[in-house]
Amino acid sequence: MRKTILVLLCLLLLCVPVSGRCQEVDLAPTPTPAPIALTPLSDAPLLENPPLHPACAAVLLAEADSGQVIFQMNADVPRPVASVTKLMTILLALEALDAGRLSPQEVVTVSEAAAGMGGSQVLLDVNERQSVDTLLKCMIVGSANDAAVALAEAMYGSEALCVEAMNRRAGALGMTGTHFENCTGLPADGQHTTARDVAVMSRQVFAHPHYFDLSAVWMEDIDHGDGRVTQLVNTNKLLKLCDGCDGGKTGSTNEAGYCVSATAKRGDMRLVAVVLGADSGKQRFAIAREMLEYGFANYRRYPVAVRGTKVKGRLPVTGGTADGVALVLDGELTLLVNRGDEQRVTLQPDLPESLPAPVEAGQNVGHVRILADGREIAQIPVAAAEAVAAKTALWRRILQRWVATEG
């Protein structure tokens, strides 16, 4: 009797009446979106030596989509980067929004620890309530340490747990020259990163469209809800100084010098310029602007191969109902090339003389080699665009016709 009652109760829980009808309850867990996967940053820069002479500790210029490094200087030397550290805090918040662990409108109550942060602030009060999106904006636009800690606590319960997550994410991204001790970039023993790792973080952040909803804000008033208002002013002056600049992160302390990771987009190309250890804020922006201008002036994205493009001619098929099969590229590749050097890139098919039937549509049949100045730099798979059945033997065709006639 008891077992029967338990079974009925379970069935009732799975069938909730709504407006006189029975609604099924979906017990399957909602899948969590995987973090955005990007092509790794290239190990070898296009230029062995920087064409510029930047007066700072380290630089790196890269194309965001392909991850191709154009040039670099001291890119793997660990050093403090001040508030540029917040890129990882920002990245974790954007990924939490994507995964549904946070919502932009979710309200966060500011703790005493967050409100007491020194350095750059938006002047949050203890127990002040602000939305996740407002805190994220204060971090991105005003580099606010109090907003960073409030958001870290909202995501993980404490800044210490957030820092653990920052280091795990850095490890997953291959940032071998990085270690975090806090989520703000305030001076701390053992906290360091590199120009290369800053570029890795930057590309991940810039892959989130919502970031650019906030990063382009130049000036905005933050209402504290008690009659006070703090004016938020963007620390990234390149928004006004460099055509196409729409994001980045600044930082400065005595030990780190003046740092910036800036991004700009013109046409279909986005560049990322990392400048670490400049002597002044004005100097870091001048170096970053010069780097970006050089990249846009000298390079372009060249779509070498597009998935689905037909390969010229047909590949012979033996023993099939057709003598040949059409082919298409089963991959795509866009290279960063010097303007005017497109002719140095060539495609060389590497295909068999023929294929035995049957051939399935989408079947891999070989590849095309991508050559730059005669040196292979990539391969693109080639697939059959259609199916080709094998010829049926003569005796089998006669038998099939006889069976059909008898039927």
Position 405 pLDDT exceeds 70: no
The percent of the chain in helix, strand and coil, each rounded to the nearest 5, is: 30, 30, 35
Sequence-separated (6 or more) residues with CB below 8 Å from residue 389: 320, 321, 357, 358
Q: How far apart are alpha carbons 353 and 240 in whole angstroms?
A: 58
pLDDT of residue 269: 97
Strand partners, 260: 250, 275
Give the strand order in the sheet containing 345-350.
345-350, 364-372, 375-384, 324-329, 310-318, 355-356
Q: Report yes or no on 183 lying in a domain.
A: yes
**Domain check: are 272 and 346 in the same one?**
no
User: What's residue 404's pLDDT?
Assistant: 63
Domain check: are 153 and 69 in the same one?
Answer: yes
Question: Residue 272 and residue 69: Cα distance in Å, rounded?
Answer: 9
For the residues 339-347, what does the mean pLDDT come to?
Answer: 86
**What pLDDT band is residue 332 in, cutting at 50, 70 and 90?**
confident
How far apart are the C-alpha atoms of 17 and 341, rounded to whole Å? 68
318 and 189 in a common domain? no
With vertex at residue 17, the alpha carbon angle to CA 14 and CA 21, rounded to the nearest 5 degrees, is 110
With a cut of 70, say whether residue 256 has pLDDT above it.
Answer: yes
Residues 73 and 221 in one domain: yes
Tell me whether residue 37 is in a domain: no
Span 26-43, mean pLDDT?
75
Q: Where are the alpha helices (DSSP H) in 105-237?
A: 112-115, 132-142, 145-156, 159-172, 195-206, 209-215
Q: Contact, 196 vs 41, CB < 8 A?
A: yes
**CATH number of 198's domain:** 3.40.710.10
pLDDT for 393: 54
Residue 36 falls within a domain, yes or no?
A: no
Whether 196 has a pLDDT exceeding 80, the answer reads yes
Residue 33, pLDDT above cutoff 50:
yes
Chain position carrying tokens 């003046």: 258
Contacts of 104 (CB under 8 A, 6+ apart): 97, 131, 132, 133, 136, 210
- Region 172-198 average pLDDT: 98
Distance CA 95, CA 91 (A): 6
Q: Which of 375, 302, 295 is nearest to 45 (CA)?
A: 295
Residue 172 pLDDT? 97
pLDDT at 265 over 70: yes
Q: What's residue 373's pLDDT?
A: 80
Cα–Cα distance measured from residue 314 to residue 172, given in angstroms and rounded to the nearest whole number: 44
Does residue 271 sit in the same domain as residue 346? no
Are residues 234 and 312 located together in one domain of the fold?
no
Q: Which domain holds residue 353?
A: 306-384
Higher-confidence residue: 401 or 95? Answer: 95
pLDDT averaged over every residue in the chain? 90
Question: What total of structural domains would you count in the chain?
Answer: 2
| Segment 59-86, tens digit of pLDDT | 999 999 999 999 999 999 999 999 999 9
Mean pLDDT of 257-281: 98
Q: Phi then psi for 155, rounded to 5 degrees?
A: -80, -40
Q: Per mean pLDDT, which range of 16-30, 73-87, 138-152, 201-215 is the poorest? A: 16-30
Residue 100 has pLDDT above 90, yes or no: yes
**92 and 110 assigned to the same domain:** yes
Whether the pLDDT of residue 384 is over 60: the answer is yes
Q: Between 35 and 404, name the one with better pLDDT.
A: 35
Q: What is the DSSP letter of 184?
A: S
Per-residue pLDDT averaged across 324-344, rounded? 88
Is 51 inside a domain boundary? no
Residues of the chain with pLDDT > 70, as a percent, come to 88
Distance CA 260, CA 139 (A): 14
Q: Does residue 336 contact residue 66 with C-beta atoms inside 8 Å?
A: yes
Lowest mean pLDDT, pick from 29-33, 214-218, 381-385 = 29-33
Beta bridge pairs of residue 327? 311, 384
Tell me, yes or no, whether 319 lies in a domain. yes
Q: Is residue 135 part of a domain?
A: yes
Asked which of 251, 266, 298 is the last residue of a domain, the reply is 298
Q: Say which CATH number the domain at 340 has.
A: 2.60.410.10
Same domain, 376 and 291: no
Q: Above 60 in pLDDT, residue 255? A: yes
Q: Are residues 198 and 312 in the same domain?
A: no
Report yes or no: 185 and 84 within 8 Å, Cβ to Cβ.
yes
How do residues 39-49 score in pLDDT, each as one tens digit?
899 888 999 89
Residues acting as catalytic residues: 83, 86, 143
173 shares its domain with 252 = yes
- Kindly state whether residues 133 and 217 are assigned to the same domain: yes
pLDDT digits (tens, 9 = 90+) for 224-237: 999 999 999 999 99
Q: Does pLDDT of 270 surpass 80?
A: yes
pLDDT band at 23, cuts 50/70/90? very low
Binned at pLDDT 50, 70 and 90, residue 340 comes out as: confident
**pLDDT for 71:** 97
Flag whether 358 is in a domain.
Answer: yes
Asked which of 282, 298, 314 is the last residue of a domain, the reply is: 298
Question: In this structure, are 149 and 291 located in the same domain?
Answer: yes
Choose one of 258, 281, 298: the last residue of a domain: 298
Q: What is the pLDDT of residue 2?
A: 52
Structural domain includes residue 18: no
